[in-house]
Amino acid sequence: PDSVTYGSVIKCLTNAGGKANAEKAEELLNELEELYENSDGADESLAPNTIIYNSVLNAWSTVRGGIGRAEAILDRMEELHGAGNGDVSPDAFTFSSLIKAWTAAASSGKGRRKAAGSGGGVDGNTDDDTDLLGRSAAERAQQLLDRMEQLYRNGDDAVKPNKVVYNSVIHAWARSGEAGSAQRAEDLLARMQQQAKVGDGDDDVKPDVVTFNSVIDAWARAEEYGSAEKAENLLSSMEKQYIAGDESVKPDIKSINSCINAWSRTGGPGAGLRAEQLLDRAESLYEETGDDDVRPNKVTYSSVINAHAKSYKKGCGEFAEAILDHMEEMYEDGASEARPNPIAFSAVLQAWQNSDVGLSAPRAEGLLMRMMEYLDEGKRGGKDVIDANKTFDLVVRLLDKTYDEDTIGRIEELREGIRME
């Protein structure tokens, strides 16, 4: 057997996935390295190459808790390349595989910075993907991107990062939950824009709708002062570029939903109104164009309702329920994407609780009965049932200290109507 044989088997193991296969792939790589060393480097047919190392690295990067092992493969590749081994050199696939893994860790919430002295780390023997130096997943993804840029500037065309890599790092910052992460995401957007303008322009790194949506999402999740305005500014920038002829940044309903989400997370007296204005823009645009890419959906409406709930403004209960009424009307007119779900009803209930009027037991029972009508349509997906139970839990919690046991009993009796199919 030669390196081609080993490489084929390793690739099959990588494609199969799983920790056991990653272990076996690395064992085969170690075996191949030993065979090559025993030949004193004379048998080139046994020389491991970049493709083989990348396969093993990729195998570990897709395994839970395996990022440390993947990082170790990168270290080996860089050490070999630094020692003059021309067959092994980290390339764009090497770095992008690791960046993708760190981004997944950030999205799962497992890659946030650990407090000093809290232990844990990436050693390949733990499910924790926060590394030993306490770096966050997003920060490590950023460092890998910075390394790619540096190598590319130094003349290594094989490691040139493209927009997919940049978008992945931006997504990692958006999901990191760290202070300042939204600004880090927007800084990367600016970097991409600058690189796309240099010389004849580099379309490989030109921001697209995915880029902008990820940065808008980062601001939505930041919940910082002014973050909703910054999200809207980015949406406006997308609209201007699209009108100017750039189809790649055409705003879609995800763009608008993220801006609405920014207002619902930020809260404040004007949050509901600003969110509703964005909904109006989306509905008007859909009516004018018939473009399904901007068609409001249940996420859009539920987020607007939540923004009203978070506004704590006088009348926010009425405003929230008016959006729910509108959802029902749209759904009855045939817009299946506007079908009210338990999340929308929970947000309306919370809005009434936060309003100047407060949530009364009759209103709560009425909203719960309306919610049950949609569950009785036969669309009892597992998630709807779970969310409906959460809605009942919310009502019981909100009314527990205000109303008597008979009221709570009637609500619990109504809950019994939820049946899993």
Residue 345 is which amino acid? F
Q: Which residues contact 161 (CB under 8 A, 6 or more apart)?
A: 92, 95, 96, 145, 148, 149, 152, 205
- In whole angstroms, how far apart are CA 375 and each of 116, 365, 366? 47, 15, 15
Considering only CA atoms, which of 198, 85, 58, 71 is closest in space to residue 131?
71
How would you label 245-284 residue by residue, b for 16+ Cβ within 10 Å and e otherwise?
eeebbbbbbbbbbbbbbbbbbbbeeebbebbbebbebbbe
What span, in angstroms and rounded, lies between the C-alpha atoms of 240 and 8? 49
pTM, whole model, 2 decimals?
A: 0.86
Report CA dihedral (268, 274, 275, 281) to the nearest 10 degrees.
180
What span, in angstroms and rounded, lies between the C-alpha atoms of 216 and 167? 12
Considering only CA atoms, which of 30, 16, 26 is closest in space to residue 62?
16
Q: Please return the burial class of 87, using the count of CB atoms within 10 Å of its CB with bins 0-12, 13-18 and 19+.
A: middle
- In whole angstroms, how far apart are CA 119 and each of 113, 116, 127, 128, 133? 11, 8, 13, 10, 10
- In whole angstroms, how far apart are CA 105 and each of 68, 109, 402, 413? 12, 6, 43, 42
Considering only CA atoms, which of 126, 2, 15 is closest in space to residue 64?
126
What span, in angstroms and rounded, lies between the C-alpha atoms of 14 and 221? 35
Q: Residue 177: what pLDDT?
A: 85
Q: Residue 398: what pLDDT?
A: 86
What span, in angstroms and rounded, lies between the C-alpha atoms of 25 and 23? 5
Mean pLDDT by groups of 10 residues along the chain of 421 residues: 95 96 97 93 91 97 94 96 93 97 83 39 42 67 96 95 96 92 96 82 89 97 92 96 95 97 91 95 94 95 96 93 96 92 95 91 92 74 82 88 80 77 44
> Which helix H or strand E contains 25, and what residues bound it?
helix 19-38
CB 261 within 8 Å of CB 254: no
Considering only CA atoms, which of 260, 316, 317, 313 is closest in space to residue 283?
260
Token pair, residue 198, equals 């240099």
Q: Please return the burial class of 161, using the count of CB atoms within 10 Å of its CB with bins 0-12, 13-18 and 19+.
A: buried
> Which helix H or strand E contains 139, and what residues bound it?
helix 137-153
What span, in angstroms and rounded, lies between the C-alpha atoms of 90 and 335? 50
Token pair, residue 249, equals 């940044």
Q: What is the radius of gyration, based on Cα positions, of the chain? A: 26
Counted residue by residue, the chain has a size of 421
Q: Residue 375: what pLDDT?
A: 81
Share of the chain above pLDDT 90, in %: 73
Q: Which residues contact 128 (CB under 8 A, 6 or more apart)?
A: 65, 110, 120, 121, 122
Q: Residue 32: what pLDDT?
A: 96
Considering only CA atoms, which of 415, 350, 344 is closest in space to residue 385?
415
How would you label 77-86 residue by residue, b for 16+ Cβ within 10 Å and e otherwise?
beebeeeebe
Q: Residue 104: what pLDDT?
A: 92
No. of helices (H) and no. of strands (E), the chain: 18, 0
pLDDT tens readout for residues 4-13: 999 999 999 9
Q: Residue 236: what pLDDT?
A: 96
